[in-house]
Amino acid sequence: MTTVNADVESIEHVGTVGQKVTIVDGLQGCTKLTTLNLRSNLVRRMLGVRYAKALTYLELYDNRIEKLEDLEELTELQTLDISYNRIRAIESMERLGKLETLFLATNKIGSSLGLQHCTALTKLDLGNNKIRRIEGLEALVNLRELWLGKNKIRRIEGLSSLTRLERLDVQSNRLEEISGLEALVELRELYLGHNGLRKVAGLAHLKRLTTLDLTGNQLEAVEGVHELTALTDLWLGYNRIASWTGVAELAALRDLGVVYLEHNPIAREWEYRIKLKRLVPQLTQIDAIEIRR
C-alpha cells in the first residue's frame, strides 16, 4: 500500500486480480477510514492498522499473517476477519469491546483462550484450527453463533453461560458423546456431523431446535429425539441405521419436513422412500430429492 487520501472512508484491494499487497502502510491521518479489506494478498504482519482508529470493519482474509497485533487502538472495530492465515494464538484483543463478529477460521490456533474482553461478540468462527478443548468463552454471553468444526475437540464443555446461543457447529471433531448442552435452551441449529457418536442423548431440553445434523457418525438408532417437537430438518446420512425401529421416533415429530438417511443400510431397502414417507407423512424432502405432491 502507499499513502492514501486522508478523507477516504473505505479501502478494498482483493489480491486475486492484479498486484498483491505485502505490507499495511500509508494509513496515517486516515481518521475517516471505517472499512479496510485486503483480502487474498501477501500481508505477513498487521503493523500499520493502528492508525485507522475509526475502523469498524477489518478484513485480512487469506494472507500470511502469523500473529494478531496492532489492534489496541481499534476500539470501534465491529467486524474482524483474519481467516485463512497462520495465526497460532488469540491475543491483543483486550480493547475490542465493540467487536461483534470475529472470523479466525483455518489458522493454527490451539486454544480458544484470549477472548474474555470481547463481550459484545455475537458470531465467532474458530473452525479448522487445532483446538482440543472448549475454554475461555464464559464471558461471551451475547454469542449467537459459534463455529468450532474441524478441530480436535473430544467433549462439548464450557458453554453454560452462553444461554443466547442459537447456532452451534462442532462437526468433524472427536466427539464420542453428546453432553454440555444443558444451558443452551435457545439453540435452533446443532451440527454434530462426522464425529464418533454411537447414540443420541442430552438433547431433550432443546425445545427450539429446528435443525439437527448427525451425519457421518456411528448411530444404529435414533432415540431421544421425540421430544424435539420444533425439529424441521434431521440429517442422519452415513450412519449404521439398519431397521425401521431405529427411526420409529421420527413419527412423533409433526413439523419434520426434511430427512437425510442416505448411505445407511436401511436406505438400500426396496421402496425405502415410500416406507419413510409412510412413517413421516408430512415430509417434503427425503435425502436430496424433494417430494412431489
Predicted confidence (pLDDT) per residue in 104-157, tens digit: 999 999 999 999 999 999 999 999 999 999 999 999 999 999 999 999 999 999
Which pLDDT does position 29 carry in this prediction?
Answer: 87
Which pLDDT does position 143 carry in this prediction?
Answer: 98
In Å, how far are 17, 126, 152, 226 from 108, measured between CA atoms? 27, 10, 12, 39
Cβ–Cβ < 8 Å for 149, 127: yes
Predicted confidence (pLDDT) per residue in 199-209, tens digit: 999 999 999 99
Among the listed residues 39, 80, 72, 73, the one whose alpha carbon sits nearest the alpha carbon of residue 56: 80
CA geometry: angle at 61 spanning 55 and 62, to 5°?
150
Q: Tell the CATH topology of 1-153.
A: 3.80.10
Give me the long-range contacts of 190-196 (CB less than 8 A, separation at least 24). 191/149, 192/217, 193/217, 193/235, 195/170, 195/171
Q: Tell the CATH topology of 173-293.
A: 3.80.10
Tell the residue number behind the cell numbers 478441530, with chain if given: 151
Whether 173-293 and 1-153 are alike in CATH topology: the answer is yes
Tell the residue number behind the cell numbers 431397521, with chain if given: 243
What is the enclosing helix (H) or strand (E) of 126?
A: none
Q: Is the pLDDT of residue 102 over 70?
A: yes
Among the listed residues 6, 58, 11, the one whose alpha carbon sits nearest the alpha carbon of residue 29: 6
- Residue 159 to residue 152: CA distance in whole angstroms: 17
Which pLDDT does position 7 carry in this prediction?
Answer: 80
Name every residue whose Cβ is closer than 8 Å to that of residue 214 and which is 6 or more positions away in sequence: 192, 193, 197, 200, 222, 234, 235, 236, 239
What is the enclosing helix (H) or strand (E) of 163?
A: none
Predicted confidence (pLDDT) per residue in 165-197, tens digit: 999 999 999 999 999 999 999 999 999 999 999
Name every residue whose Cβ is closer than 8 Å to that of residue 118 and which is 6 or more positions away in sequence: 93, 96, 97, 99, 102, 139, 140
Domain ranges for the chain, please list them.
1-153, 173-293
